[in-house]
Structures are given as C-alpha cells and as structure tokens.
Structure 1
C-alpha cells in the first residue's frame, strides 16, 4: 500500500533514479568516509527529501509538502570536484544529474547541483534511506526535532 505522501518504499537506489527528484531538498551535512582500505570513499549526505509537493487547497495560496529525513549514500565515490559558495546560511539541492562516463572508466559521473554549490564525482550508484516517515508540513524543511537531529544512519524506518 502506498503511503498518503506517495512514498512506496523506505529505501531507493539508482535503479529508481528516473522516479526521484531532489529539487529544493535541504542538505544538512555531508561526509566523505573511507572504508578500511584506501579510496575510493563513500559520500554521504544528510538531507530533508521533498517526497511530494501538494498543490494549495481551494482558497489557499501556498503549497504544502511531504518531507522526510534521508541519508543519501554514494558508494565508491572518487574523482570528486566541486565549488562552494558564497553561502547564505544553508545548502539546498537544485537537481541530481547522472551523466554517461566521458571516458572508458567505469561508473557514471554524478552532478549534485545546488543553489550555491556543486559537486561532481564518479560513483557506482546510490542508496537513499528514509530514516523517518514523511511528514505533511507547510514548509520545505523539517526542524531538528522533527528530523531527529543530524544523522548519516543507513537504516530505513520500519
């Protein structure tokens, strides 16, 4: 059964890429984590994912949103480049692009396009874990209490 938010499962992968959209998702934190051996690394993002935008009800002026805290994980991330700033207080995604490799090397190029930043890197793929069920709220971002603080947990809600 599909949740009223429209979320059909609590873990999504790059196989679901065409169905997903990260526009206006807030990035609260990101981390590069090396496995026990040398790079490539794992790139993790803690974000508020906008599961669904809800059109204003009749005689209402503003959208509402179904928002869930999520951990976006790119395994075997390498060749990472980017640009940051100038910042106005927070990081917000505009889009995530998957580009064909421009050379014979494996894995696509991923482009995290933000409103005031960008990252480009190679990675095998991604998994996105929804850590809590989506909440229907009148804004695009959860409070720290609503999202359970900052987290890179790779566990989906039950």
Structure 2
C-alpha cells in the first residue's frame, strides 16, 4: 500500500480527486464546517470539513450494529460559482449529514464553462448545488474504527480545512 494507505480499513491513499468519484461515497458523512476561500484564479474554492466514512463494517453476530472506519477530511471544490443552498433545521437536530453527492453534466453552452460539471450535495437537512471544475479530498488522519458515523471533536482535532493527506 502506498502513501497514506491504511491496511486495516482497506484505504489505498489519503488524497482523492474527481477522477476517483465513482469509487467514493459520502452517505452519512457529517459536515463540521464550510468555508468559501479566495483562490489563485478568479473563482473561489468551497471547502468542507467532514468525517469521511472510509468503510462500513457489517456486524458479526452476536453484534447487531455496524462499525465504521472514519477519518477527518477536507473536501475542496475548485473554481466554484452558482452556489445555492438551503437549510431546514426544524426540530432539535442540527447535524449536517450528507445523503449523496451527485455530479452532473453542466448543460452550459458557454465555451469557458461547458466543461465544468454541476454538483449537488444532498443532505438530510440541507441542500447545496453549484458549479465547480473538480474536487480534491484530503484524509487528514488515518481512519479510526468507531461505533458511530462521526468522530468526537477531540478525536478529529476540532474543525480544520487543512489540505494535506496523512502519510
């Protein structure tokens, strides 16, 4: 296994890119922070601090609950525009859990933008859509096996947007 690999969880690397999209899944990943940061070009970057579920572990009887290999991660979308979001926190829960991340063709006929896909981050209590050139995801620590889908603030080192994978 190479740089940033973790044999126990099956993780092969700690930095992922949009070319890896079909191998990835964000279902039930918890978002701890969101930041829009200026970039070197004209368009900003959208950064999400989240707990990425590297692998779901099926229960072995007599256990009845899943376990999870989870790593704190920074998900960075580059050259972001047309960002639209919606939050609905009616009730007592304030968790930002992702249901799915969708990548769609742009449908834009302008030459400078036709190659940039539309992204949809569908959450259990929120919704984000935007255009972006692509993404990188940095797993900042080796995954930990836990009984929940999210790490504690102490285990994850608080909220961070570090763009470096663990080695």
With the length of structure 1 as denominator, give the TM-score of the two structures. Answer: 0.95
User: For 1:1-158, what aligned pairs fall within 5 Å after superposition?
Assistant: 1=1, 3-35=7-39, 38=42, 40-86=43-89, 88-104=93-109, 105-106=113-114, 107-158=116-167
Output the CA distance in 1 between the equivalents of 2:107 and 2:41.
27
| Counterpart-to-counterpart distance in 2, 1:7 and 1:141 | 18
RMSD: 1.2
Report the TM-score when normalising by structure 2: 0.90
Q: Which runs of 5 or more residues in structure 2 are unaligned?
A: none
Moved over 4 A (4+): none
Equivalent pairs counted in the alignment come to 157
| Greater share of strand | 1
Separation in 2, partners of 1:115, 1:4? 30
Alpha-carbon distance, 1:57 to partner: 1.1
